[in-house]
Amino acid sequence: MDLSERKKKILSAVIETNIKNNNAEPVSSKQLQEEYLPKVSSATIRNELNALEEMGYLTHIHTSSGRVPTKEGYEKYISELMQEKKLSLKEKELIKSNFANKLVSLRDIIEKTASTISSATNYTTVVYSNPEDNSIIKDIKLYPVSKTTQLVLVVTSERVINELANLGTNDENELNAASTILKDLFVNKSLADIKDEVYRDKIVTSELQKYKIVFDRVIDIIESNKNGYSGNLSIAGKDKLMDYPEFNNIQKVKKAVSVLEDKDSIIPLIKSGNELELSISIGNEQNGLEDCSVVTVSCNISGTKKITAGIIGPMRMDYQKAVSVLKEVAETIENSLDYNIEGENND
């Protein structure tokens, strides 16, 4: 829904003021007039607030209280209204200094990344590395077994995947030709690469179309044989959610803690960005933290190992700060962290 410039300014002002309010107090028309719109009458501001509430972007707790943003309001703000917030030179230097000393393992990097982000944002931070995402394809072979069954063999740097399947052909020459094409495409690529739809769309050629059934089935086999969520995981600032008034309710605290302490719950939470470089999820009831937002970023270490970092905070999160810190940390890791972890055991 399109907004007038004045409505955009008022919605942004309500959200940014509500974020800054330590007690999460609603924002009044008087406060908006004094701090943002001194030339606009209170009556006009109230009318605009009413209109934004009718649109679903704002709500109010009590009849006489000011407004607070809704989930839809935050989504509108993030997608269209939020301005980039640059970190100060001191903040940038502090982040870089945390990675200045040599880190001797992937685990050290993950823990340092989590503590750095949590300290810089004052939010709970989760950092994760899935060995399956970092696993490199070494070989792919297809063997005929019977008229309707073939053996798919995928050798990776982590393990060997083998499974019987119906690839649509049992001709040994065709299987060898398909194996050659798959190897040319995927050897020395990570499993994350070949499961990425954008990457796959780029490499699908007319020659490969002939073996599309084989191609799709091999991808399905790799996908279905993932190592689950085993991998390196670090959580920093687990108790920081309790610093925010939204979590004064004991039931909310219990729910948040139960999610943070459950590996099977917390990892899908930060992987919900669908491999996007940066993603923001607001109040998703399916993750058990409907009162929270999650901001995530993925980055590569020395071009060989991928990690994902996620900030978890109240819906009233300082998104500008969260995004800026994540981008700075990701840039530092990708461009400044000189570390060779080839062949390291990630268990």
Same domain, 191 and 142: yes
Same domain, 141 and 76: no
Of 5-19, 71-85, 303-317, 320-334, the poorest mean pLDDT is in 303-317
pLDDT given for residue 198 in this prediction: 47
**CATH of residue 207:** 3.30.390.60
- Dump the DSSP string for 231-292: SEEEEE-GGGGGGSGGG-SHHHHHHHHHHHT-HHHHHHHHTTTTT-SEEEEE--GGGT-TTE
Domain range for 324 is: 89-130+229-335
pLDDT given for residue 345 in this prediction: 43
- CB count in 10 Å sphere of residue 262: 12
Report residue 134's pLDDT band, with 50, 70 and 90 as the boundaries. low
pLDDT given for residue 29 in this prediction: 93
pLDDT given for residue 38 in this prediction: 93
Cα–Cα distances in angstroms (integers) from residue 108 to residues 46, 234, 248, 334, in the given order: 52, 10, 33, 16
Burial status of residue 323 (CB atoms within 10 A of its CB: 0-12, 13-18, 19 or more) = buried
**CATH of residue 304:** 3.30.450.40
pLDDT of 26 strictly over 80? yes
Same domain, 294 and 260: yes
β-strand pairing of 232-236 with 278-282: unpaired
The two tokens of residue 172 are 């040994």
Is 345 domain-assigned? no
pLDDT given for residue 87 in this prediction: 95
Of 220-224, 261-265, 323-327, the poorest mean pLDDT is in 220-224
Same domain, 179 and 299: no
Give the C-alpha separation, 8 to 174, whole Å: 60
pLDDT given for residue 231 in this prediction: 65
**CATH of residue 50:** 1.10.10.10
Higher pLDDT, 222 or 129: 129
Same domain, 93 and 153: no
Report residue 133's pLDDT band, with 50, 70 and 90 as the boundaries. low
pLDDT of 118 strictly over 50? yes
Of 197-211, 257-271, 285-299, the poorest mean pLDDT is in 197-211
Same domain, 34 and 72: yes
Higher pLDDT, 230 or 271: 271
pLDDT given for residue 256 in this prediction: 82
pLDDT given for residue 199 in this prediction: 53
pLDDT given for residue 275 in this prediction: 47
pLDDT given for residue 90 in this prediction: 95
Half-sphere exposure of 27 toward its Cβ, with a 13 Å CA cutoff? 30
Is 270 domain-assigned? yes
pLDDT tens-digit readout, 52-110: 999 999 998 776 678 999 999 999 999 999 998 999 999 999 999 998 887 777 888 89
Which of residues 224, 251, 284 is at a domain's end? 224
Is 307 domain-assigned? yes
Which of residues 190, 224, 258 is at a domain's end? 224
pLDDT of 344 strictly over 60? no
Contact 292, 315 (CB under 8 A): yes
pLDDT of 298 strictly over 50? yes
- CB count in 10 Å sphere of residue 245: 13
pLDDT tens-digit readout, 218-260: 778 876 765 544 568 899 998 898 889 888 888 888 888 888 8
Helices then strands, each counted (H, E), the chain:
15, 10
- The rounded percent of the chain whose pLDDT value lies above 90 is 41
Same domain, 178 and 265: no
Span 282-309, mean pLDDT? 79
Is 341 domain-assigned? no
Contact 44, 30 (CB under 8 A): no
Same domain, 9 and 66: yes
The chain-wide mean pLDDT, for the chain, equals 83
Same domain, 195 and 260: no
Which of residues 224, 241, 273 is at a domain's end? 224
E-only strand ranges, 42-175 = 58-60, 67-69, 124-129, 137-144, 150-156, 160-165
pLDDT given for residue 65 in this prediction: 72
Contact 63, 8 (CB under 8 A): no
> What domain count does the chain have?
3
Specify the pTM.
Answer: 0.73
> In this structure, which amino acid lies at residue 69?
P
